[in-house]
Structure 1
Amino acid sequence: MTATDPVPGEGYTRWRRLAALLGLSAAATAVLLAMVANGAVAAGFTVSGQQFKVSADELVATGFIQYGTVDARVEPGGDNQIPEPVAVSAMKTATLKNLCQSVVTDLGDFGSVSLKIRAGTGGDPATARDMVVDMSQLDGNANFTNIEIGRDASTLDKGPTNDPGEQAQRRQGMFSQQADTVTITDLKQVAWATAAGQFNLRHLSLRLHWGRDECF
């Protein structure tokens, strides 16, 4: 730690270090992939073969949980489902300031088209209830309150309770963490899927552009 780094306080940690603790081990991932491929574990979410990027100046969430699972991914134009390891973040409530979401579609000889959505600007943040995000990457600065790291995923009790399918993904014996609240600034996330019981996008703007026009 350098002289310019903040001194970690109670409930505070660097997100990159925490992500390293959260990541599934290679052995555990291989076992999960094999079980999904053989039908022993039902993948929780059938996702497209395209990831999307999400950024926000600030995310504030309550009832936060995080654990590893496997989605079923389908490539564009394909039929086979491919197991995709993901980190799931679920939260009871969330507010996001200056939210941006982008996805780029490759059209071959015609080039690329970008879809970009913005919301939560002008002092009115986007809000969500019972939000679940399946991601492959997350960067930012995080501050947690009353965090528990290394909890058995099947015993999580601070996250959403409205989705039996999501709850079924919390596998017994698997690594997880939970906290009463989390604040993440300078959020940058690469995700496969997002679901929410309610998602309010204030000051919504949706635009299509030729070429690559991403949130980060």
Structure 2
Amino acid sequence: MSQVRGGTRWKRFAVVMVPSVAATAAIGVALAQGALAASFAVSGQEFKVTAGKLDGHGMVQYGSLDAGTDLEGKAGAHHPVAVSGFNSAEITNMCQSVVTEIPGLGAITMKLTAGDGGTPVAAKKIYIDSSALDADAEFRNINIGVAAGQSSKGPGIQSGDQMAKKGGFAQEADRAILTDVKQTAWATSAGTFKLSGLKLRLNLGKNECY
């Protein structure tokens, strides 16, 4: 870790955050109240995302849980996630992919790309619920160990997320610049999400972003 012009830079930044044991014990109550990280029931499949660069302003990151279904549609699945929230973000060379097994056809890959024609993807009030993240990262004016409910630099804990403890561990920064991003996620939510040069393709076989 090195100091860079008032910021903090990590080579190959990697994060996997999980909620506390007490939070895990409260899953049943939270499921009944619909009070988990994502504002919707997540699918039984993770998806992969890559980006050449993510330039986010006003960042907060904390641990929580997503709830949803398994691949058969049965409710009750829950997933520890690291929630990264940004007031605004620009993303270049974004790729998102998910692979589904279809009986009789085998693996089908749905791949979405955007922001690769000179105009980046633009998002406001975006939350990304990840199980893994690898990138080169530079943070400007970062605070590590802030109480999640007291974070003031980013958009705060996502509305309706009662699994993220207000006094739990979080980190925040005025700006986060991530390059060579490789991410596995369960959900993404945004107030606005503008995808320039959007392309969506279906391919036989596995053809993931990474």
Mark yes or no: TM-score above 0.5.
yes
Q: What is the CA distance between 1:15 and its match in structure 2?
A: 5.9
The residue type equivalent to 2:36 in the other structure is: A
1:68 lines up with 2:63 in the alignment: yes
Root-mean-square deviation (CA, aligned residues, Å) is 2.3
Unpaired stretches in structure 2, ≥5 consecutive residues = none
SS in 2 for 1:159: coil
1:159-215 per-position Cα deviation (integer Å, ceiling 9, x unaligned): 22696325x554222110000001000011100000111111101100000110110
The change in CA–CA distance for 1:181 and 1:48 in structure 2 (over 3 A counts) is same
The structure 1 residue matched to 2:189, chosen from 178, 190, 195, is 195
Tell me which residue corresponds to 1:3: none
The residue type equivalent to 2:22 in the other structure is: V
Greater share of residues in strand: 2
Task: Output aligned runs, 1:47-196, within 5 Å.
Answer: 47-160=42-155, 164-166=159-161, 168-196=162-190
SS in 1 for 2:193: strand
Greater share of residues in helix: 1
SS in 2 for 1:212: coil
1:31 lines up with 2:4 in the alignment: no
Q: List structure 1 runs of 4+ shifted beyond 6 angstroms.
A: none
Aligned partners of 2:13 and 2:134 also within 8 Å: no
Identity of aligned residues (%): 39
Q: Hey, what's the Cα distance between the residues in 2 that align with 1:34 and 1:66?
A: 22
Aligned partners of 2:37 and 2:158 also within 8 Å: no
1:141-174 per-position Cα deviation (integer Å, ceiling 9, x unaligned): 00000100001111111222696325x5542221
1:87-108 per-position Cα deviation (integer Å, ceiling 9, x unaligned): 0000011001111000001124
Q: What is the CA distance between 1:14 and its match in structure 2?
A: 1.8
The residue type equivalent to 1:174 in the other structure is: G
Aligned partners of 1:37 and 1:83 also within 8 Å: no
The residue type equivalent to 1:195 in the other structure is: S
The change in CA–CA distance for 1:65 and 1:15 in structure 2 (over 3 A counts) is farther
The change in CA–CA distance for 1:12 and 1:161 in structure 2 (over 3 A counts) is closer
The residue type equivalent to 2:209 in the other structure is: C
The change in CA–CA distance for 1:120 and 1:18 in structure 2 (over 3 A counts) is closer
Number of aligned pairs? Answer: 205
SS in 1 for 2:24: helix
Instruction: Return the TM-score normalized by structure 1.
Output: 0.86
Q: What is the CA distance between 1:59 and its match in structure 2?
A: 0.4
